[in-house]
Structures are given as C-alpha cells and as structure tokens.
Structure 1
Amino acid sequence: MTTMSAPRVTSADVARAAGVSRATVSFVLNDTEPGRVSETTRQRVRDAAARLGYVSHAAARSLRAGRSNLVLMPATQAAIGRLVSDWLDDLQQGLHRHGYTLVLHGGHDSDPVDLARSWAELRPAAVAVPGMQLTPAAVDLLRNAGVGVVLALSPEAVPGAYTVIFRHDEAGRLAVEHLAQRGRRRIAVVMPQERGLDLYAGQRLAGARQAAATHGVQITPVPLAYRLADAARLARSWHDSGWDAVFGYNDDYALLLTRALQDEGLDVPGDVAVVGADDLLVAQLARPRLTSIAFDTSSGAELAALIDRLIQQPGTEPGVLHTAAMRLVERDSS
C-alpha cells in the first residue's frame, strides 16, 4: 500500500489562517522589522503557525539574507575532553540566546582551502576554527563567500581573522617546568590516540620539550588510548622505563594512568609524579589530588556575545581579541 504524504504547510497557509499577508508572516517568523507589526498580530501569526505545524525554510531564509544563522566549528573541537565539552555547551546556549545555531562540521579535508570551501557552502554567519586550519587563502575564501566573522582559536594571530590566542604549548611547558623544579629528570608525556587530539597533543609536547631543554631533563612521548587496558599495559612497562614523572595531556588521561600505576604498586607521587591539565573538579576529588594546568579563558557565553557583536558590527577590524592565560595548580600528585 502506498502511503500518501501530507501536503506541506506553507507560509500562505499561515497567512490565511491568521488573516494577514504573506509579507506579515515573513516579518513575524523571520523576526525582521519588529516595529512594523503589532504584538497582537505577531501573536496571531505565531499561534497559527504552531496550530498548523508550520516549519520555516532555513535554506530559503539564508538565500534571502545572504547568510544563515549558523555558527560553524570543526567537529574535532568536541574531542578535547570534559572542559571543552562543557565550554561548547555554554557556547551553544549563549549563541541560541542571540538567535544563532552552533553546528559542528565533520569535514575531513586536510587542505585548509578545501576545508574553508566546505564550510562556506553552508553560508554560515561565522566560523570558529583552530588557527592551524586557517591560512590567509582560506580566510579570503570565507570572506569572499560572505562569511562575516572568521574566528581563529590559535597559538598566534591569523592574518585577516579575529583571533583568540590559545597556546597549548604553554600547558606542556608549565607542566614539565614544574616537574623539573621538583627534581624529576625523566618525564613521560602522554600522547592520546583518540581522533582529533593529535593537533593539541603535538603542541603540548612541543612546549614540554622546550621546558625540558631549558631544565636539562629527558622527555619521552608515550602513546595512550583512553582505555583501562591500554593504561594497564603502559603501567606494566613503567618499572623498566626509568620514568619518574608524567604529564598526562589532560586530567582524564592523567587520572586513568594514575590508577593504572597504583594498581602496579607504584606510589604517586613517591615513585611517579603526575600532572594533568584542565583543572576539572575530579582532579580535586582524586587521591592523591591531581596537580593540573588551569585555563583562564573566556566562557562560551562570553564568546557567543562577542561573535554576535562582531556580526552586528561588521566594521570591526580583524585582530587579536583575547589571550587565554594558563597557570599551574599544585596539589598532592606532584
């Protein structure tokens, strides 16, 4: 048996039900020219749309406006851990309050211009991406496609883009500097094996190596997947490695490895000093309490307000908007 689909509800249907013109429906449902339509009429239109089950056509609205209400981020941004997961949720809610929708884009092109082209096809109002995925040519492509705000989350300023400086190498530098000052000489640095983390892990390793060179200590990168079995396997090799400290990439990996080391009979911090990053609540609840790197950066809600302001005031010149500070929070594990 063939099932007949129900006819699509259109703005003309809403206009007839509300007793207004299609232009009035457009003004109300697209929230444009608010002073042009009385609140009584606006409510009548909204009630009619809800009663009929009308859903506006986002693509058509974007075509008329020249852009959508989307704020786009690469999907790999979501893979960094609990800290960024909470921050993204805060950003999403903040953008929603300003009338935007956060979209995590799953493009996997390695070429920055190809990536930018795939983002531009959606005609987002803004894109916020790691600076390493932005080149001047990619920024130009996005600008020429009508993307009003190109925001880089980057260790250095990106020409043509608004930039929030976020130096992951500083986290590695602070961790290893602290461990070296505590007399640790052979330091392992966890390199997460989960997809999307290599970009940030590489930067943290670079900072760790910089501090190691300054303080004359040895650095060894060690791969670790976020699985208890993998942590146990690494912990079993610890007795023969000679490592007396570890920078665990973030608190999640640091605590996973801490538990595995303790299960192998190693004392933390007596045999192995451990430092994490993100300064999550769980770092304070762990035993021993975990030394961690805290990130003092803008909240997601603050960034949402900033993105909205840049969209609404397009004359603002690109440049560095904010620099995230980092600090080491010393606790019992180191």
Structure 2
Amino acid sequence: MPQTPNTQTTNAPSPVPTSADVARLAGVSRATVSYVLNNAEAVRISEPTRRKVRDAAEELGYVPHAAARSLRAGHTRIVLLPTSNVLAGPLHGAFLNELQWALRRLDYTVVQYGSLGLTGDEAARAWAELRPVAVISLGDIVLCARNVATLKRAGARAVITLGPGRVPGAHALVMDQAAVGAKAAAHLVERGRRRIGVVVPQEEGLGFFSEPRLAGARSVASAEVEPLPLAHTEESAAALAARWPSLGLDGVFAYNDEYAMLLMRALQDAGLRVPEDVAVIGADDLLIGRLLRPRLSTVQIEMPTGDHLAALVDRAVREPSHFTERHDLMTAVAVRREST
C-alpha cells in the first residue's frame, strides 16, 4: 500500500524578534536601536536613521522589553493610577483622561489598577508588586505613612495623593471639596435662603467628595443645613420631592449638576416652583445645566490642565527631594442663573 503522507503540522511559535534583528534589518548598531526605541534624548541621531529603525521594528513586530529597560534604568516608567470605585462626575473624568494623555506624551506608561475593596495596606502591597515609578492615589483608598514607605521601598520615586489633605511622605495635590459646599451655601444665603438642604449621594464611594462638601456648607454663617440622602434614581428623587413640604427647606445644594437636574425635575413634577419655592444649585457647570429651564445655577470648579499635573508628576519623579509637598489644585466660584 502506498504510504499516506504525514500531513500533521507543527504549531511551533514564531521566534520572538530581538533588537539584534531590528539592527540587522535597519543596518545600524543595537545601541542605535536602543537609543531610538527608548527615546533617548541625550544621543543625537538623525531623523532618517530614526525612521529606518522604527520601520524595521514595525516590520518585524518588535517592541522593547519593559522589564529589561527597567533593569538598565534602575526603575520602570509605570505611573500607577488606581481605578476609582465610582465616577465622581464628568468634570473629574475629563480631568483624569487628560492627565493620562499628558503622561503618555512624557513617555510614561499609565497603568490603571482595579482596587475595589482593598484596604490601604493591601493596596500598597498590590501596587508595589508592579514596581511603579509613581503612584497617583485618587483618594478612594486611605493611605498612611506606612503605605507610602512600602511603595517607596519597592522603587516608587513619588507617591502622589489627590484629595483634601496630605499623607506624611507623599506629595499632596489638594482639591478642597469643602470650598465647593461653602460657595454653594453662601450663594443660597445671599439669595435670601436660610433653611438649606445638602444632597448626600447614597452611591458607594462618593463620600470622599460629598462629606467635605457638606462640611463646607455647614461652615457658612446664617445657614441651617439639613443633609438629604439621595440615590441617583428617579424613584429616590421623587420620594424626596414628595416629602419636601414637611422639611421646611427653601434652598438646596444638590452635590453636583447631575443630582441637581434629577432633583429639580422631581420637585417640579411634585408641583414645587424653582426658584420661587425652592432655590437649586449644583456644581461642575455642565453645559446641559445651561440648557434647562430654569437654567441651573452652579459652582464652577477650575482645575489645572492635565499637562500641568503631568509636569508636576514628572518633576516629582526626577527630583523627589526638591518637589513641593503641597499643591492646591482647584478654585470654586458660584455662578448665578435662573434656578436661584
């Protein structure tokens, strides 16, 4: 009988391209490949040579080995950005997106790390395993000096906290949320309102923003402040609006524009007039708030650009001993419109 040909094929993986392969294809040295692909600024290499190296690397599918590069440099280029448990709102979301783009332009690798449910000690150990050169903690997880030391022992040149205060050993980018509540309450008082409700979102994790905003509102003289728990649902807003007459409140700071729009619609559906019966103010100055009728009064929050903050992070990495430990990042201004 004739032999049946052996049609079995092997699925051996293709060899991983190396920098030596790129150097041969581009006709340059391995050192030149390293300089080009690692964006070394101290070495002058002509643009045609850079283009040849990049084209060769793309043709071969070669990418530099991050771990090897880290060993040579003594640190990674990873900036760890622990994922927030909740969305604080469009303003903060846009700010963080802009920050990530700016860090990438500075040749950092931004790694988002899901940290839901971790304590400060657990988070610090988990983050340290990735050997980041910097950590930007958004405040969902409360860090202490011990946690900062853990990260620095693992090679982090900078631990940066974003929040209302500072942690020993970390650089503080201070966002004074109490000022937002104080500006909103002061505006309502100026409009003749004294019995003021302050919405406290029931969504988990928003206490990082809502608690200092409530404290800020309470700091305003002549204001009687009533906390108002509210979930971001039509049902919760309708239930609050239904019992509004029994609360005796003539103004409300609704945490932000999204909660303000939700509550204002529910109040109007319940037969209450805005601003005659209830003056309503939000925060963040979203465009949609200006499209409502009545137009929504708000607290406008001014924050630095992502480029500005990325430059601060870069300086903290390069000159950790000379970096100022506190930067105030935001200002708040009340904007009066028709709802107050």
* More off after superposition, 186-195 vs 40-49: 186-195
Tell me the distance in 1 between the aligned counterparts of 2:86 and 2:21: 41
| One-letter code aligned to 1:129 | S
Instruction: Say yes or no: does 1:326 pair with 2:332.
Output: yes
Q: Map 1:311-322 onto structure 2 (within 5 A).
A: 311-322=317-328
Question: Are the aligned partners of 1:94 and 1:300 in contact in 2 as well (CA < 8 Å)?
Answer: yes
> SS in structure 2 opposite 1:309?
helix
State how far apart, in whole Å, the 1-side matches of 2:196 and 2:328 are. Answer: 32
| Amino acid in structure 2 at the alignment position of 1:275 | I
In structure 2, stretches of 5+ residues that fail to align are 1-8
Secondary structure of residue in 1 paired with 2:321:
coil
Closer, same or farther: CA 218–42 of 1 in aligned 2, 3 Å: closer
Matched, 1:269 2:275: yes
Mapped contact 1:180–1:217 kept (Cα < 8 A): no
Q: CA deviation at 1:153?
A: 1.8
For 2:172, what is the secondary structure of its paired residue? strand
Using the alignment, how far apart are the partners of 1:148 and 1:185 within structure 2?
Answer: 49
Query: Comparing 47-56 with 122-131, which one deviates more in the overlay?
Result: 122-131
Q: Distance in 2 between matches of 1:236 and 1:53?
A: 63
The 3-state SS of whatever aligns with 1:133 is coil
Match of 1:215?
222
Q: Scaled by the length of structure 2, what TM-score is found?
A: 0.87
> Which of 187, 194, 202 is residue 211 of structure 2 equivalent to?
202
Asked if the contact 1:70–1:126 (Cα under 8 Å) also holds between the matched residues in 2, the reply is yes
TM superposition shift of 1:274: 0.8
Q: Do structure 1's residue 76 and structure 2's residue 81 form an aligned pair?
A: no
The residue identity in structure 2 corresponding to 1:158 is V
Report the Cα offset of residue 2 of structure 1.
8.0
Once the two structures are superposed, the pairs formed by residues 82-121 of structure 1 within 5 Å of their partners are: 82-121=90-129
Equivalent residues in 2 for 1:154-173, closer than 5 Å: 154-173=163-182
Spell out, residue by residue over 1:71-93, the C-alpha distance to the aligned partner (whole angstroms, 9 max, x if none): 22221176111101111122122
The structure whose residues are more often helix, as a share, is: 1
Q: Any idea what SS the aligned residue of 1:268 has?
A: coil
1:251 to partner: Cα distance: 0.8
Contact 2:174-2:326 within 8 A present in 1 as well = yes
Matched, 1:146 2:152: no
| Aligned-pair CA distance for 1:249 | 0.8
What value does the CA root-mean-square deviation take over the aligned residues?
Answer: 2.5
Which residue, out of 238, 248, 255, partners 1:242? 248
Contact 1:161 / 1:318 at 8 angstroms: preserved in 2? no
Q: CA deviation at 1:254?
A: 0.8
Q: Secondary structure at the match of 2:15?
A: coil
CA distance in structure 1 between the aligned counterparts of 2:12 and 2:262, rounded to whole angstroms: 55
Residue matched to 2:304: 298
Equivalenced residue count is: 331
Shift of 1:12: 3.0
Deviates more, 1:40-49 or 1:10-19: 10-19
Which is higher, the Rg of structure 1 or of structure 2? 2
Percentage of pairs with the same residue: 47
TM-score normalised by L of structure 1: 0.88
For the residues of structure 2 that align with 1:272 and 1:2, how far apart are their CA atoms?
75
CA distance in structure 1 between the aligned counterparts of 2:239 and 2:228, rounded to whole angstroms: 15
